[in-house]
Chains A and B, each alone.
Chain A
């Protein structure tokens, strides 16, 4: 089941970087939702970290290490903090982590970017939330199936 999750995260990363993955010229942050959902429902810490790192490796836009990659990794790891340490409901932890990460990613270009491109940022947020409503239940289902097959 873990291998399946890794394959899902690789596929989602590749879809994310594909040029055709756009709705009206704006890309929803599919990989962020997928990675956070898989991480929150995963049980073991090393598996959580592996999922995040695999996604980050594929998403790296250049050969150098960039601030956006660090934010992506930290953002996804925030979901662990929210769900495992602060005991948030899993869905709330996913929503919180996605929101924080998206804001942080957009803030790398400064506040003026968010103001200047507020329509783009808002539409991206709406698209990503819509994706979340599909992906989070699927991740939950995958996790419950994994649990039942073990028992």
Chain B
């Protein structure tokens, strides 16, 4: 009887069910290599990446200026940031969660804020594994947080989702499109940028709501920063 097929299947099963980083590292290496090859072959891909990078840097600088404007006492030196790679999100096209490299091994804990660069909110850590963590993003329909809009710091409630929103904006408050929506919850550093107000929807009730345009798309994320420690300023 030929035992080779059984051996192959059993070996593959063991590799699949065991907790190992070896295959994961090889796979990520291949994926990165393949991506580089495609970037090299595809004309303009490098330029596109540069544009995305510059756009994110610009957004972050705007977010930083906004933070200093609304909270002059804010000191980023009081924050500890840890860089983490973002894993690919197969098989789901979900934007509501991302998996990042780093978990208990790097001292990450549930509810730690996760940002892009230093001032753009991505979400918070939901689950921590030995060397990976799952992050709930602002695109999760269950993600809700106290927020403030613009330099006048108008109170609102940010609600995540495919189309993130700000709700419970007082009817008499003057809110314009393009104003920054920022975090106002004590669980996060004050005034992290969530996005910008896109459209304000008028309704008959005492409150108004509006659509929020985030500063990034989940697909563009390669590295994020985890805020491991911060002081409420």
Contacts and interface: CB of A to CB of B under 8 A. Distances in A.
Interface of A: 14-20, 22, 25-27, 29, 31-32, 44, 46-47, 49-50, 53-54, 56-65, 68-69, 72, 105-106, 108-109, 112-113, 116-117, 119-121, 124
B16 A53 contact: yes
24 contacts: A14-B30, A17-B31, A17-B88, A18-B31, A19-B222, A20-B35, A20-B45, A46-B9, A58-B23, A59-B90, A60-B16, A61-B89, A62-B129, A63-B132, A64-B19, A68-B92, A109-B92, A112-B141, A113-B94, A113-B96, A116-B141, A117-B93, A117-B95, A117-B96
A54 B12 contact: yes
Contacts, number: 118
B92 A64 contact: no
Contacts of A44: 5
Interface in B51-99: 87-96, 99
Given A17-B90, A18-B38, A65-B16, 9 more contacts: A46-B6, A46-B8, A53-B15, A57-B12, A60-B16, A60-B23, A61-B88, A63-B19, A63-B129
A68 B35 CA distance: 24
Nearest to B139: A117
A105 B162 CA distance: 18
B200 to A, nearest CB: 22
B219 A53 contact: no
Contacts of B99: 61-62
Nearest to A72: B91
B162 A57 contact: no
B211 to A, nearest CB: 15
Contacts of B21: 63
B129 A121 contact: no
B17 interface: yes
Point out which of B13, B27, B95 has the most chain A C-beta atoms below 10 A from its C-beta.
Answer: B27
A14 B96 CA distance: 23
B91 A32 contact: yes
B24 A53 contact: no
B68 to A, nearest CB: 32
Contacts of A47: 5
A114 to B, nearest CB: 11
B178 interface: no
A27 B19 contact: no
Interface string B1-39: 000011011001101110111011001001100110011
Contacts of A14: 27, 30-31, 34
Interface in B90-115: 90-96, 99
Contacts of A59: 90-91
Contacts of A120: 93-95, 162
B24 A63 contact: yes
A60 B34 contact: no
B217 A25 contact: yes
Interface in B175-189: none
A79 to B, nearest CB: 16
Contacts of B50: none
A108 B91 CA distance: 11
Given A63-B132, A68-B91, A117 B19 contact: no
Contacts of A63: 19-21, 24, 129-132
A121 B19 CA distance: 30
A68 B97 CA distance: 14
A72 B105 CA distance: 29
Nearest to A44: B5
